[in-house]
Each structure stands twice: as structure tokens, then as C-alpha cells.
Amino acid sequence: MKAHDGMYIDGAWRPAAGQDVIEVVNPADEQVLATVPAGTAADVDAAVRAARAALPGWAATPPAERAARLTALRDVLDARRDEIATTVTAELGAPLKFSQAVHAAVPIAVAGSYAELAGTYAFEEKVGNSTVYHEPIGVVGAITPWNYPLHQIVAKAAPALAAGCTIVVKPAENTPLVAQLFAEAVHEAGVPAGVFNLVTGLGPVAGQALAEHPGVDLVSFTGSTAVGRRIAAVAGAAVKKVALELGGKSANVVLPDADLTKAVNVGVANVMSNSGQTCSAWTRMLVHRDQYDEAVELAAQAAAKYGERIGPVVSARQQERVLGYIEKGVAEGARLVAGGPQAPREKGYFVSPTVFADVAPDMTIAQEEIFGPVLSILRYEDEEDALRIANGTVYGLAGAVWAADEERAVAFARRMDTGQVDINGGRFNPLAPFGGYKQSGVGRELGAHGLAEYLQTKSLQF
Ligand code: NAP
Ligand code: MG
């Protein structure tokens, strides 16, 4: 795909205000793929003004017409799914099969779900002697990460457009190409000028300008807890609404009567897919002491098999960070049973699928988000102990529970301080609310709950 050298603002590609560019690097071979403009506060300001100007018209557009534009957008994305997959593979490094099955397919499904919701959602309801209108919150400033680069954009842009909001997106610096492709798709779908705008750039420059802009009514951020905390502080001071999807350190709890082989194999695949760069990954596997050694052996075998299929991590910086955590795990006394801190190839930002056994709950690798292909296996004594360990981090984004008896798994899941739990390998549901407890975030994305984030209520009494 050819990179644009401008910003998509007010329905056209316009020259950037400054001269600086960002180099986009293929993490599999370290070659520069393209450059995109590094936006400044002036670009952000132009984009927010365009979004503001387009807001009254789009907010007043009947939901059925907004639904029609979203259906067209879904169709364009579907028609361009191969291009989406190759673009994500080039700039993120994900294996092409994974890009096709996940990085392209999930955003198409999510766009389709909002096309449908826009047409069916009750934007008006009766409550006693009141009529309650669910109105768009206004101009959205969206700041997104690189790990699921198109999904993260669609999970904000689609509900925003369905709600009648207008939006400015600042994508991650590492993955701006699929963001530009998305802007092209929005254009092709006939979404009116100014409703969707894209400013590429660096977080502390363009991202910060967007979060601080007085013309933004809602800041929707997905990324690290450290940056999210700063954005929430800026938004709080300006009394703006903020939605945060942050980090995770989720637990995969294997109860004693579970199918151990399945639980371990699915658990390893969950951590290694996308090279471990999944905020909701089950990076801590909790196993009963009687099955511990068997689980460790199974996990080591599964990780070794995964080694041939894994892509690189996104950048040299990320590789360094992940290898640093692996060294820290060794230094703190955890036992390496697969992978390790040596980069497995000379070229490309690869990390070997790594499994640690004998991990204590308070070790750094069991507390901090690594965001790489690293699994920690922890031993528990009984269910109460497992629950204490599962809930014993500052995060609460996701999790898994395995048990022969589904009711037992559900009872355990209900006691976990986390936003979503997969029972015995339950499938991803793009309509279920996604978001975190504790420091994993504020607000929910996807489905009707995700749409509600972009609405505010007005009550009229009769
Ligand atoms: P990050 O550094 O927080 O970046 C996320 C986004 O924020 C990027 O667009 C980034 O721009 C921008 N940004 C950075 N500093 C900023 C600032 N001072 N003001 C405004 N924007 C700023 O996170 P990352 O390293 O790219 O992504 C990995 C993290 O995201 C992990 O912690 C992961 O758990 C989290 N994540 C969470 C979810 C979820 O749904 N909960 C999903 C995916 C990822 P640059 O690209 O220029 O840095
Ligand atoms: Mg960053």
C-alpha cells in the first residue's frame, strides 16, 4: 500500500502543517516501509475544527442513514480485506494467516455490528412522564495503540459514527498505514466530510494536543496505563468525558478437575498469538500443585511448537523491553522451561516463545505487563489461594477458568475482579462489552455497551 503524505481532514488528504515525518519499519526485516507525516498541534486543531463543523449535520442524520454509511464502510473493508492483512503484516509483523483471520476479519465484524446497532438501537425511550433522548456526546478524540491496529480504530470510530458523533483519530506511530487505509475506506463509503478525520503523529505531540484540545468532548484512549493516567488527568481538569482501555495481567485458572491438556494448550496459544501483544492475554497460568509438573511440561512442549510460527514484536524498543523482563524473571528466581532472553534471529525483532515455571505471585513477571510472548505458570494450593493470586494485581481486564463442571467455573469467574472471563475456552464475542476493572480502564467497548459510551442523555418531562 502507498502511504499518504498528508492528513485526512474534512474529507480530503491535506498537506501536514510541518515537515517532520515518521518512518514506518517492518519489524520482521527492519526495513523502512514508508514515511507518514508527524502531525503537530496545528494539524490536530484543523482536524478538530472539521469534526466540530460536521457535528450538527451528522448528529441530525437519521440513524438509518448512519447505518447505511456504516454498512457501506463494512463492505469496503470486506472488499479490501487482503490489503488490510498485508498492510498489518508489513507494519506490525503478524504472520499473514493471523492478519487475515484476526486483524482484518475482526474489524469487519465490528463495523458490521455497528451498522446493525445504528439502525436498531433505541435512541429514545419513555421513563414515566419523561422522554429520554440518547444524544451524541459530540467530538471524539481517539488515541489508539499498534497491537491490533485496525481493530482499535474501528472499536472507537464505528460506535462513534453510529451514535452521531464526529471523530479525530491519532493512531500509533508504529502502525499508521492501516489507519490511512481505513481513512480511504471511510471516504469510499461516502461518510460526509469532517465526520472522520485522521492525524498521524507522535503520542506526546499529536496525541497530547488531541487530548488537551478544548473542542474535544470525549477522549477515548487505548494504550498503556501510564499514558492513560496522564490523559485522564488532562481530561478531568477540563471536565471532559474519558474512556480508557489499558493494560492487563490476566489469569488463566485451571481448576483441578479441568481437561488439563486442553487448558494448557489453549492457554499457551492465547499468550503467544500476536507475539504476546494482546492486552487481554492470559499471561499467568494458575495450576493446582498436584498437576503442576504435568502442566509445566505440556506448556513447554506447546511453546516449543509455537516457535516456528511466531512473528516478531513490533519494534526494537519492544524487543528490548520484553527481553529485559525475561532476564528479570531469571534474576528473581523463576525457572525457564522454554525460550529465554536471547534473540532467536539476527534480523527482525523476534523473541522466543518463553515459559517460566516456579513463578511466585509477587515476582515482577507475575505483576507487570510484559506485552511479549512470555507465560508465567504459578502453583496454587486450593481454590481460595487461586482466587487470591488471580485477583492479586492492579489489573482486571480479562481471564479464563477451566473446570469439568461449568457451574463451578462460573462461580469462580464471578469472584474474579475482571471485566471478562472465558469459560472452558469460550469464543471471542464482538458484541460482548470489553473493558477493565481496577487499573485496566474505565468504560466499555464493543456492542451496545460500547455504543452507550458515545451517548449522553437528555430528559424531557411532560
Ligand atoms: P502507549 O505508549 O500508551 O500508546 C498508546 C497510544 O497513545 C499511541 O497512539 C501513542 O502514540 C499515544 N501516546 C503516547 N504518549 C502519549 C501522550 N503523552 N499523550 C497522548 N497520547 C500519547 O501504548 P503502546 O505501547 O503503544 O501500546 C501497548 C499498551 O497498550 C499496553 O500496555 C497494552 O496493554 C495497552 N493496550 C490496551 C488495550 C485494551 O483494550 N485495554 C488494547 C491494546 C493495548 P505513539 O504511538 O506515538 O507512542
Ligand atoms: Mg508508545
370-395 confidence digits (pLDDT tens): 999 999 999 999 999 999 999 999 99
Ligand nearest, relative to CA of residue 143 = 1
Q: Same domain, yes or no, for 158 and 297? A: no
Res 307: pLDDT: 79
CA-closest residue to ligand 1 atom 40? 245
Domain CATH code at residue 299: 3.40.309.10
246 touches 436 (CB < 8 A): yes
Q: State the pTM of this model.
A: 0.98
> Do residues 267 and 399 touch, judged by C-beta distance below 8 A?
no
For residue 351, what pLDDT band results from cuts at 50, 70 and 90?
A: very high
Encoded amino acid at 167, one letter: I
Ligand 1 touching residue 173 (CB < 6 A): yes
Pairing mode of beta strands 354-357, 441-442: unpaired
Overall domain count for the chain: 2
Q: Candidates 110, 177, 202, 222: which one to mutate for ligand 1, based on the most atoms within 8 Å of Cβ?
A: 222
The rounded percent of the chain whose pLDDT value lies above 70 is 100
| Summary mean pLDDT of the chain | 97
Q: What is the pLDDT at residue 309? A: 85
User: Does one domain contain both 208 and 348?
Assistant: no
For ligand 1, is residue 246 a contact (CB within 6 Å)? yes
- Residue 455 falls within a domain, yes or no? yes
- Residue 447 CB less than 6 A away from ligand 1: no
Average pLDDT over residues 426-439: 97
Q: What is the pLDDT of residues 214-271, one digit of tens each?
A: 999 999 999 999 999 999 999 999 999 999 999 999 999 999 999 999 999 999 999 9
Please tell me whether residue 173 adopts helix, strand or coil conformation: coil
pLDDT at 293 over 80: yes
d(CA 365, CA 47): 41
413 and 266 inside one domain: yes
Q: For 365, which DSSP code?
A: H
Q: What percent of the chain has pLDDT over 90?
A: 98
Q: Is residue 230 within 6 Å of ligand 1 at its C-beta?
A: yes
Q: Is residue 1 part of a domain?
A: no
Whether the CA torsion 380, 383, 388, 393 is positive or negative: it is positive
**Strands, sheet with 124-127, edge to edge from the N-terminal-most edge strand:** 124-127, 130-136, 455-461
Whether 94 and 73 map to the same domain: the answer is: yes
DSSP 8-state assignment for residue 258: S
Compute CA distances 456 → 135, 241, 357, 446, whole Å. Answer: 5, 10, 48, 17
Contact 161, 169 (CB under 8 A): no
308 and 263 fall within a common domain: yes
| Pair 239, 271 in one domain | no
Q: Same domain, yes or no, for 65 and 42?
A: yes
Read off the pLDDT band of 1 (50, 70, 90). Answer: low
Q: Are residues 233 and 279 in the same domain?
A: no
Best substitution site from 43, 169, 224 to test ligand 1's pocket, by max atoms within 8 Å of Cβ?
Answer: 224
Q: For residue range 24-70, what is the model confidence (pLDDT) as tens digits?
A: 999 999 999 999 999 999 999 999 999 999 999 999 999 999 999 99
Q: Is 74 helix (H, G, I), strand (E, B) or coil?
A: helix
* Mean pLDDT, rounded, for 9-19: 98
- Is residue 165 among the annotated active site residues? no
Residue 433: band (very low, low, confident or very high) from pLDDT cuts 50, 70, 90:
very high
Instruction: Find the 359 Cα to ligand 2 centroid distance in Å.
Output: 28
Question: For 445, which DSSP code?
Answer: B
Domain that holds residue 141: 6-246+439-461
**Ligand 1 binding pocket includes 369 (Cβ within 6 Å):** yes
Strands of the sheet containing 354-357, edge to edge, are 335-338, 354-357, 374-380, 284-288, 251-254, 399-402, 422-423
Instruction: Quote the pLDDT of residue 306.
Output: 87
| 395-411: average pLDDT | 98
**CATH number, domain with residue 181:** 3.40.605.10
Residue 252 phi/psi, 5-degree rounding, is -110, 105
* Statement to judge: residues 174 and 260 lie in one domain: no
As a whole number of angstroms, the distance between CA 421 and CA 252 comes to 9
Q: Tell whether 226 and 329 lie within a shared domain.
A: no
Ligand 1 atom index nearest CA of 173: 46
Distance CA 369, CA 217 (A): 30
Tens-digit pLDDT profile for residues 138-175: 999 999 999 999 999 999 999 999 999 999 999 999 99
Is residue 187 domain-shared with residue 287, that is, in the same domain? no
Residue 368 pLDDT > 70? yes
284 SS3 class: strand
Please report whether residue 434 resides in a domain.
no
pLDDT for the residue 414: 98
